[in-house]
Amino acid sequence: MGFPLIGDKFPEIEAPTTFGKIKLPDDFKGKWFVLFSHPADFTPVCTTEFYAFALRYDDFKKLNTEIIGLSIDSNFSHLKWVEWIKENLKMEIPFPVIGDPRGLVAEKLGLLHPQSPTHTVRAVYIVDPNSTIRAILFYPAELGRNIDEILRMIKGFQVAEKYGAAIPANWPNNEIVGEHVIVPPASTVKEAEERLKTYECFDWWLCHKEVPKEEATEARKFLERVAKPTK
């Protein structure tokens, strides 16, 4: 079975969660949301990821972004696991986790791997306020996600939309243009000529421009978290 792709509308889903019934994408219209799946409850790598997502929950909120977890464990299992995390790691999970023991939601989103049909893959959907899927990430079971990179991606999407630009590699620490953003390439001869007069350019097809310092500073905080984050 296929799954939705970048640029598609997020499919309509109704499911039970640790916070009650949820309806996607309707419950998050006007907001960004990250839906991430994990292989199973009470597993070590997944536990570190839930802790990391919870630790950065306020950062997601500042970006008008909500978080939803998912696996094909039952809601009962989720409730016991998040209770264990709170009691043993002193971290409360502040976002809902979808219980999907029949795998109906996971199948609809392409999160069941043929080699392990009893576990969801480690995946991320980033969805914008118009319910459009902007990014899909898949990870192998043995590799935990970098949550700060997910935050940087959302910040990058928001900056790109706000300033009509594209985001270069490793932004805001790009090796060529630093914290500048990329101006979309010209599509006419006249536009190409104007690009060279208006922006800093290496050529008419590679121009860049500055954005306010605070935009880059926030993204840099996610990319280069120097101090250990605290609760």
* Sequence-distant contacts of 18-21: CB under 8 A, at least 24 apart: 18/75, 18/78, 18/79, 18/82, 18/93, 18/96, 18/97, 18/99, 19/95, 19/96, 20/96
Lookup result for tokens 């459009």: 132
Count of C-beta atoms within a 10 Å radius of residue 13: 19
Residue 202 half-sphere exposure, CB side, CA atoms within 13 Å? 8
Residues near 96 by beta carbon (within 8 Å), at least 6 away in sequence = 17, 18, 19, 20, 22, 68, 69
Closest CA relative to residue 161, chosen from 208, 129, 199 = 129
User: Annotated active-site positions, please?
Assistant: 46
DSSP 8-state class, residue 131: S
What's the Rg (C-alpha) of the chain? 20
How far apart, in whole angstroms, are the C-alpha atoms of residue 217 and residue 38?
31
- Crossing angle of helices 147-163 and 44-55, in 10° steps, is 40
